[in-house]
Every structure is written in C-alpha cells, then in structure tokens.
Chain A
Amino acid sequence: MLTILFDGVAYGMLLFILACGLTVTLGLMNFINLAHGAFAMAGGYVTVVMMNRYGISFYWCLPAAFIASALIGLVLERTLYQWLYQVSHLDQVLFSIGIVFMAVAATDYFMGGQQQLINLPPELSGRMDVFGVGVGRYRLFTIVVCAALALALQLILSKTRFGSRLRAAVDDRRVAMGLGINVPLVFALTFAFGSGLAGLGGAMGAEILGLDPNFPLKFMIYFLIVVSVGGTSTVSGPFLAAMLLGIADVAGKYYVPAIGPFVIYALMIVMLIVRPNGLFSRGSR
C-alpha cells in the first residue's frame, strides 16, 4: 500500500518536472508550446550520449542535460519562438507541433529509433526497506531532487525580483516595458529555464519512462493533462495535479488493472468539470 503511494509520488514528481516548464511558458508567457517534450527528449539524449559514449558520471549528466536543453531553448526562442508571441494560439500550436515532428525525425536519423538505456550508478539502483516499506532508491532520489526543484521554483517566482518582473511582463507587456523591464530578455530567460527543466526531467525520466525518438509525442498528453488540471497561473497547482495524477495512475493500475489506464483520464474529466480553470486558479482571466 505504502509502496504504491511511494511509487505514485515518484511518478508524479517526474511528471511535474517534465511539465512545469510547460506551465511556465503556457501560463506565464501565454504561449502554447507543444514542442515542450522535444526539450525533455534533448536532455535525455544528452545524458545517454554522455554516459554511454564518454562514461561520464550520472550526477554530472543531470546539470549538463539542464544546461544543454536550456541553451537549445534559448537559441530557438531567439530565432523562432519570439516572433510568435503575438500570433493566434492556433498558429502557435501548428508551429510547435511542427517542431515536434522535426525533432522526432532528426533524433531518429542521428540516434536511431531504438530505446535508449542508461546504467545508473550502483548506489541509485535496487531498493531498500524503510520501516517495512519497499522503496526504490532511484525513485527516492527522484522525489528528493524534484521536491527541491519545485520549492526553488515557487520561491523564485513569488519572492525574487526576477519573478515579479516576469509576472509583470506577462500581465501587461506594454506597461512593463514602459517601466523599464527588458521584456524580451525576461521571456528568453524564462523560456530557457523552462526548457532546461524539461531537459532535466527527460534525463531523470530516461530510467523510468524510457527514451526513444517518439518521447515528445508519447508524453505530450501527460504534460497537457498536468497543466490543464493544475491550472497555469501557479506552480503549486500543477505540482499537486502531477502528484494526484501520478498516484491515481499507479494506484489505479495496481488495484484495478483492467481499467487502470482510464483512471487518470476519468480523473481529468472530473477535475475539469469541477474546476475548469485548474485546481488553484485565481478565477478566469
């Protein structure tokens, strides 16, 4: 029972890290970026290449995945995305889904279509018993890292100057510029940070979720569920939504395997009926 809860939390944490970058771009920058998973995949492949070809320690790969994905995000934001902030959402969707397909094809071309596997350092593999509860070491590690990140993210957005600038830039771009806030810079940094988080999520998820060129398409639906259930105006909303979905998914598949896969979709529908603007929305904007 507790093991199931634990697995659910670990899975939810991963979903959160993967999706929270999307929360940032979608909720704060009001840009529908379906290509979010592509950045996660980039992070995953950076890890795979570094570990399997160059034998670099897993712990170094995580920050590297973050930085690499953030850089890719930054470059793409400056060259492509920034021209699309003002266009309609449909155009944004078409543009970013196009990026997804290009990323899938490019990855398949360069890395091959097979499932990529990494070998974790021994201290992270296997499981241990904590007060009679079987706990996977790697899942525990995932929970710790993701929880720390979630906390940091919340603090950055609500307490720092950068956070308030970002919120100002989103709420009213013209006034924010008038106040001397460098809006394009803020957006570029935010976008890069969101992409970096996705990359980190991809790197950490490679062990549990797997990694192949279709990663962005496979997980797009999960990201969108997390963001739509959690609402896009806070970090805590998607965090709780991810937890809820992770636990519901794992528990559903454990207790009622016959209908397990449907549990999270049913949950999503219920949530959207009850709270159409997300768990912690500030009301419709």
Chain B
Amino acid sequence: MLNRRTLLAVASAALGCLTQFPASAQEVVKIGLILPMTGPFASTGRQVSAGAKTFIETHGDTVAGKKIELVIRDDAGVADQTRRIAQELVVNDGAKVLAGFGLTPLAMSVAPVATQAKVPTVVMAAGTASITKASEYITRTSGTLPQYSLPVGTWAAENGIKKVVTLVSDYGPGIDAEKWFTKEFKSKGGEVVEAVRIPLQNPDFAPFLQRVRDAKPDAVFVFLPSGVGSLFMKQFADRGLAEAGIKLIATGDVTDDDILNSMGKPAVGTITGHFYATAHDSPENKAYVEAFKKANNNMRPNFMSVGGYDGMALIYAALEKTKGDATGPAFMAAVKGLSWTSPRGPVSIDPDTRDIIQNIYMREVKDVNGELQNVEFKTFAALKDPEKAEAK
C-alpha cells in the first residue's frame, strides 16, 4: 500500500529527474578540438592538446556555472577531414565551440562551417594572416607570421645587417614571412639580395644552402615549419655558413622549444623572433611550464602549446563575460577586446580583426644549465598583425 508520503516522494523524485535532465544538458559546453594527432604534424596536435588540457587541469572544468567538456578529434592534417569532423561535431555532437587547427589550410576549410553554423572558432596554431578574414566567427590565440617576421626585419636592420638572403618554405606562411620581413628590412635601408623558396616536400637542403653561401650575405632569414627547421639548422652548421660569416636569423618556428635541445651545438647563437619561449621569465610562465611538464612526462611546452592554453583561457574568459552563453554572436562580441596575462606575457584580442595582439620577443639560443633555451633579449610590445592593420 502506498501512503501519501511515499507517493509524494516518488512523484517529486520523478519531477526532479525531469527537470534535472534538461538542466544538466544545458550545463555542459562541449568544445570540439580538431587537431592533427597523427601524421606529419602530430607534434603540433600533441602540444596544443596538452596545452589546452593543462589549462583545464589548473583552472577547473567549470566556468560561469557550465561544465566544459573537451572533445579531441584527429584530422591527420588533411583539410577535407577537418571540415567533415567540424560538421559532425557541430551537427551530431552539439559542440558549441570549435578550436585547434594545426595548419592554415585546415583552419581555412572550417571557415564556411563556422560562418553557416555561427559557431565560435578559436585557431590555436595556424599562422597565416588571412585566416581570421575567412569568417567573422574565427578568432586566434597563436600568432601570425607577419606579426613575428616583421620585428626580425627591424632588429636585423638596427644591428648592422645590410645584405640578407631570405629562405622560406613555399606555402602560405612562408610567403607571409618572406613578404613582411623583406618589407620591413628594406624600409629600414637593408637589401635583400635573393629570395629562395624551398618546396614543402624537400629532402635535402644542400643546393639551397650552397646558393645562400655563394650569395655571401650578412645573414640569412629563414622560415620553415618546426620539424624541418631543425634539420635545416644542422645542415646550416655543417656547410660552414656560420664560419663564412653568415648569421642565421629566423622566426621562432625554426628553434621550436620542443626539439631545440636535441639540435645540439649548431643551434647556439641563432637569433629568432617569436611570441613565446619556454624560458620566458614570468611567474605565470613558471607555473605553466611546471604544470605542463608534470602532466606530460617532462615534455617542454612550446609556442603551440601556449596557443592551446590561451585558446582555453579565451573561451573561459568569454563564457564568463556572456554568463555561459556560447552562441556565436554573443560569444564573439565577448571575445573582442578581451585581454589577459598569458604565460607568454600580456595579450589581447583586437576588436576589429579578432586576431591576437601580443609582444614579440627577439631571442638568442643559449646553453642554460646544460639545456638549450631561447633566451629573450628584446621585446616589441603589443604588436598587431601588420597585414590586417595595413589593409585598413
């Protein structure tokens, strides 16, 4: 026999279930993190996802009353896959925010999805300037090639370098880097005697390096994606370009912190410009590096990981501002003008372009307590992406 009390209890429990269920579905904000976790760019995926996870571990998984759920998907560095996965995540899995994207073409392929579904999309690694122009729902927490190539040109012109050969990978980011370095360097009175472009699939640098050597410049400016960059570095040293009086200046991709230490002696003395170095001296960075290394088997965080970490920081801050509303227009309005202190230093999101504004550091590779590090020696504060700044 049921008495009234138990009936009431059962009824209220049932009611509780009913009301609780939709409520808890609302409480979760799913973030679809699409990265190349396998294939030639797997190290990008590993670093970015580790950075993003580190943020969640250190800041908890709830923000503005919502639980954050990270769904990591592998696109193996293939643009078709990235786009398909993005659609699946948005349509089937109900992802509210898309993030990740290791390479420019991968990020570009998602732009139409972001625009049509009005899904906020946070680019955490890809570096071609034009990405944020592809959709008004795209923002970025890594950096752009023009942004950190230009200061290298400034520094070179101010430090007695007169003749330069540029040597870049022949694809979007490489051409961005070449263009903006050359522009800045020439405007400051320098001379670019030759511009060499290397095909992406290139097994041996010998002919290109010999060309550089025979042109006898004061320095060679290099952009190559990180893994290839390290190989280049060794051949640079082997060919005796340093002894021939040719300085190596580059974007920070070449002295990627993840593999810098295994490059050995040849890397020492390389001057690079970039937005993040593991050795960056700030309390935020010390805490970050410690947490990251602990969670990742002592792997060094590199600039990609910081893109992932800050991408999460951006999502958290934006959700905080919108009180948990992750719909496109509200979220993107909140993103514009956000500023926070990242492990890399102060950063903010440009309200006009949704791209990141950050410090660019000039660094030199030095041996610090038996480990090779990018040691910062000069700061260009709060730089905008010059490509979009110029277009206005």
Given contacts A125-B238, A218-B201, 6 further A-B contacts (CB under 8 A): A4-B207, A10-B206, A119-B265, A126-B237, A214-B40, A222-B203
Interface centre among A112, A219, A252, by most chain B C-beta atoms within 10 angstroms, is A112
The answer, among A11, A113, A116, A214, for a CB contact under 8 Å with B206, is A11
The number of chain B residues touching the other chain, given as a range, is: 35 or more
A127-B239, A218-B203 are known contacts. Are A108 and B38 too (CB-CB below 8 A)? yes
The answer, among A116, A125, A212, for a CB contact under 8 Å with B40, is A212
| Residues of B with C-beta under 8 A to A158 | none
Kindly state the separation between the CA atoms of A127 and B235 in the bound complex, as whole angstroms.
Answer: 11
| Residues of A with C-beta under 8 A to B262 | 52, 116-117
Q: How far is the CB of B252 from chain A (nearest CB, A)?
A: 16
Docked-complex contact A257 and B201, CB < 8 angstroms = no
| Residues of B with C-beta under 8 A to A253 | 207-208
| Residues of A with C-beta under 8 A to B355 | none
Interface centre among A117, A212, A219, by most chain B C-beta atoms within 10 angstroms, is A117
The answer, among B39, B196, B265, for a CB contact under 8 Å with A214, is B39
A105-B38, A219-B203, A257-B196 are known contacts. Are A114 and B239 too (CB-CB below 8 A)? no
Docked-complex contact A209 and B42, CB < 8 angstroms = no
Q: Is A57 an interface residue (CB 8 A)?
A: no
A134-B240, A210-B227 are known contacts. Are A113 and B38 too (CB-CB below 8 A)? yes
Q: Is A85 an interface residue (CB 8 A)?
A: no
Q: How far is the CB of A108 from chain B (nearest CB, A)?
A: 6
| Residues of A with C-beta under 8 A to B251 | none
Docked-complex contact B240 and A127, CB < 8 angstroms = yes
Q: Is A261 an interface residue (CB 8 A)?
A: yes
Docked-complex contact A11 and B204, CB < 8 angstroms = yes
Docked-complex contact B208 and A115, CB < 8 angstroms = no
Docked-complex contact A257 and B40, CB < 8 angstroms = no
Contact with A along B193-236 (1 / 0, CB 8 A): 00011010111101110110000000000000011101100110
Kindly state the separation between the CA atoms of A218 and B206 in the bound complex, as whole angstroms.
Answer: 18
| Residues of A with C-beta under 8 A to B43 | 112-114
Docked-complex contact A125 and B237, CB < 8 angstroms = yes
Q: How far is the CB of A45 from chain B (nearest CB, A)?
A: 14
Q: Which residue of B lies closest to A136 (CB)?
A: B238
Q: How far is the CB of B171 from chain A (nearest CB, A)?
A: 13
Q: Is B46 an interface residue (CB 8 A)?
A: yes
| Residues of B with C-beta under 8 A to A139 | 206
Docked-complex contact A114 and B207, CB < 8 angstroms = no
Q: Is B279 an interface residue (CB 8 A)?
A: no
Docked-complex contact B208 and A209, CB < 8 angstroms = no
Q: Is A175 an interface residue (CB 8 A)?
A: no
| Residues of A with C-beta under 8 A to B204 | 7, 11, 208-209, 249-250
